Amino acid sequence: MFSYVVRKVLYGVAVLLGVATLVFFLFTVVPGDPVRMMLGQRADEKDVQVIREELGLDKSIGYQYFSYLNDLSPVSFYKIKENQKEQFEKYKPYLIVAEMSDVAVLLKFPYLRYSYQSKRPVGEILSEAFPNTLILAVVAISIALILGVTLGILTAVANNSVLNRITLFITTIGMSLPSFFAAILMAWIFGFVLESVTGLSMTGSLYSVDDYGSGAYLDLKNLILPAVTLGLRPLAVVVELTRTTLSEVMSMDYIRTAKAKGLRKWRVITKHALRNAMTPVITAVSGWFASMLAGAVFVEYVFDWKGIGVVIVDALDKFDFPVVMGAVLLIGVMLIIINIIVDVIYASLDPRVRLQ
């Protein structure tokens, strides 16, 4: 298992290198001058040239590319004469491993550079936005998984026409409603029309400020509407997949053998059938969770949820390329981690899966 995980990690690093390369060249050849966006179209040409030199935009594409990879790498090489030691402060936390003539070897966290607009470190911007999206995605996928698997099991083993109709209604609504329309509808019905009953607001973030401005406090009720809205479509997929795969597994020979041994119906379902039926469900859930981490832009905008999707859209609108590139790399890392976890779960759920 250890060697398998190591191979997957090395493969993930190669994929991440490819993503970083694609993102760099994509945003390097994009039309539009970020320096002009920072200073305005009427800025003095000398000021524009100074900023371009400061950001390294006056160098060749090859130099910029390898400099970008050097910043991302945890082990980096820098010319001391060019940067000076006091400028290493921007790479905090860092450790100078070795100094060879005019070159320093640094051990550090990946450096995502600074925002063109706010002058803040990109890592700091993403660290503020990403937890909000992560919490929203985890709660939404948990709702979809728990309710979806439960309804899928009930519809697969119980011949209840009323329950089947309710489940069919849920899956149809969940798959047919676009996310932006579902968000507007949920906000209007439960946050405006029924506000006196639900006590929910149309907009709000994870932390709210009290009326006296004395400080922020955790406001979990603001999480309900965006999480339910974001979980509608994966809920429909999980219900249908669980029902279909469980019905198929229940007709197999080893299930009939377990029943013939006198095992109880729910023990047969939970111990034998459900384990094999969960493989496609895990695949679907991992894919949906990854897409949620990529940014549920419409849901975040409608409910004013300050997540990474909103950060990406704002950065694209302002030509703030370091923020966009850092966000895409962060999403890529999360996708790789999720894929590795899913592969390990496959091996534990289904004994037919072989690591080789």
Domain boundaries, the chain: 122-349
Q: With left for phi above 0 and alpha for psi between -120 and 50, is residue 199 left, alpha or beta?
A: left
Structure tokens at 92: 């905090």
Written as tens digits, the pLDDT of the chain (356 aa) is 677 777 778 888 888 899 899 988 888 776 666 666 666 666 677 767 777 777 777 778 888 888 888 888 888 887 776 556 666 667 777 777 777 777 878 888 888 888 887 888 888 899 888 888 888 888 998 998 898 888 888 888 776 677 778 888 878 887 888 888 888 888 899 888 888 888 888 887 777 776 665 666 777 888 889 988 888 888 888 888 888 888 887 777 777 777 777 777 777 777 767 777 777 787 778 777 877 776 577 788 888 888 888 888 888 887 788 888 898 888 888 888 888 787 777 766 665 655 45
CA distances from 254 to 149, 278, 293, 354 (A): 22, 17, 39, 21
Answer positive or negative: Cα dihedral of 9, 294, 307, 182. negative
Residue 125 CA to residue 114 CA, distance in Å, equals: 9
Counting Cβ atoms within 10 Å, is residue 285 exposed (0-12), middle (13-18) or buried (19+)?
Answer: buried
CATH number of 122-349: 1.10.3720.10
Residue 77 CA to residue 350 CA, distance in Å, equals: 45
- Alpha carbons within 13 A on the beta-carbon side of 141: 20
| pTM for this prediction | 0.78
Structure tokens at 137: 């995605």
Q: Which residues are paired to 78 by β-bridges? A: 104
Structure tokens at 277: 């039926």
* Amino acid identity at 194: L
Structure tokens at 231: 């979980």
